[in-house]
Structure formats: C-alpha cells, structure tokens
Amino acid sequence: MRQTTGVAAIVIVAASTLTLAQRGNRDVSALMALTRDALGGEQQLSAVKTIVATGRTQQLRGNNLVPIEFEIDIELPDRYVRIDEVPAQGNGPTVAGFAGETLIQTKSPAVREDFARLTIALFASSFSGYPVTYAYAGEAEAPQGKADVFDVKGSGTALRLFIAQATHLPLMLTWQTPPPARGSSTTGAPQENRLYFADYRDVGKLHWPFRLRRAVGSDTVEETTFDQLRVNAAIDQKKFR
C-alpha cells in the first residue's frame, strides 16, 4: 500500500509563519486538474458513485476527550448521512445528513458544509449537494515548503483550500466562525478553523487522506481517523430517509 507521509508539514506551523503572497493569475482549471490527477485521475474520480467511510473521531468537549465511532454514507451528487455513536454513553446513535433538498434528522444546514469539506479533500471538485467555485488566491510560504491557495465559495461559509505545490495534494481547509457567545452576545474576533489532511493512502487507484485534524485557533479540537473507505459499495436507501 502506497502511503504519503509528511504532506501536511507545510501547514502544521503557527498561523503567523504562513505568508500569503500573490503570484499573478494562475490557471485554476489546470491546477485543479493536477490535484485531481494526484487524487487518482479524472477517470477514476468520476467513476465514484458511492462512498462508505467508517472510523473513529476524538472530540474535545469542555475538558473531556470524547471517543466517537462513526459511519459516513455518501451517494453522489447530493446524498450524505453521518451516524455517530459514543460507546461510553450508551445513548444510541445520532444521525445527521441530507438527501437532495431534505435535511435528515437535523435542522442545521451546516451538515452540507461537512459534506463539502470532505468531498473537496477527496475530489477537488464540486457537487450539487453543495456546489462551490474555486478562485486562485495566492501562494502560502512556510519554512517547510509552498502551497497554492484557492478561495472556495458556495452558499455558506467561505473556505480557503491549500494544495501542496510539490505533491498537488490537498493539505488544509480554513474558514472563519463567529467568536463564542458570552451571555446574550458575541464578543471578540472571528475564530479561524483549520482542517488538516494527512496520511494519504491508496483506495484502489484513488489516493485519499485517512486522517483529518481540526483546530480552532491554535487548539486541536477534533481528530478523525478512517479505518476504511469503500468505493461504490451498496448503501441501504433507508439511511437517506
């Protein structure tokens, strides 16, 4: 099994060491095509119709690190559901997702942004479940190397995608969220969220990240490890109801 190590090194640094420099008008389509080639190639990526992902998430809740076992079912282009279970609590699974325009067991449209962040990392593309556009923003420089940076815009929170120039693989997504509420109002500056992609492995002829780490500011709040990513597996349609 081919594995890529160290691909996230460029962005695992303090925010102050990342400098975004303009580098003229780059051909966005050509750069994204290079990334899709690195992820497995246009033919292999376009043949993906379903994804079933299983694994574990460790999530910081207050002062506690909570282990979560999950299953994610995706039927492209617009069906997504995540089933979480906390073994220590024994309360049964929680479910959130969407099927077309219909939300599944949630009132929050943010579940579509979860779908977008994952599919951007796996496909460097756009789907009708959460369509996005890409625009070149500049070049990020750090002591470990360089990355091309893209503004990613959809119907919700604006994202920035960092792609390693050396490997053409996605390294990180960043976005801003409001400061935490205190009392009846919010104070302070918006918080930067970072989602790092690492531990790239082969899934058939595809090349996908198996570890995702999310940080708010300088603090890691969640780490997800995929045990398995299955492509074009049959999914029970009841999960999308």
Q: What is the pLDDT of residues 197-217, one digit of tens each?
A: 999 999 999 999 999 999 998
Average pLDDT of the chain to the nearest whole number: 89
- Inform me whether the pLDDT recorded for 90 exceeds 80: no
d(CA 47, CA 5): 27
Q: Which residue has the higher pLDDT, 206 or 188?
A: 206
CATH of domain 3-240: 2.50.20.10
- Is residue 16's pLDDT more than 50? no
How big is the chain, counted in residues? 241
Question: How large is the average pLDDT for residues 148-154?
Answer: 96
Q: Give the global pTM.
A: 0.88
pLDDT value at position 188? 76
Pairing of strands 181-182, 191-203: unpaired
Burial of 204 (0-12, 13-18, 19+ CB in 10 A): middle
Q: Kindly tell me if the per-residue pLDDT of 67 is higher than 90.
A: yes
Element (H, E) at 186: strand 185-186
Residue 130 confidence (pLDDT): 97
| Model confidence at 125: pLDDT above 70 | yes
- pLDDT band, residue 189 (cuts 50/70/90): confident
pLDDT at residue 7 greater than cutoff 70: no
Span 138-153, average pLDDT:
88
Residue 144 has pLDDT above 80, yes or no: no
Using the predicted structure, report yes or no on whether residue 75 has a pLDDT greater than 90. Answer: yes
The per-residue pLDDT for 72 is 98
- Confidence band, pLDDT 50/70/90 cuts, at residue 10: very low
Phi and psi angles of residue 221, each rounded to the nearest 5 degrees, phi first: -115, -10
Q: Is the pLDDT of residue 194 over 70?
A: yes
Residue 132 phi/psi, 5-degree rounding, is -135, 160
In this predicted structure, what is the pLDDT of residue 19? 57
**Mean pLDDT to the nearest integer, 53-79:** 95
For the chain, the C-alpha Rg in angstroms (whole number) is: 18
Q: Which residues pair with 224 in a beta bridge?
A: 57, 212
pLDDT, average across residues 169-183: 87
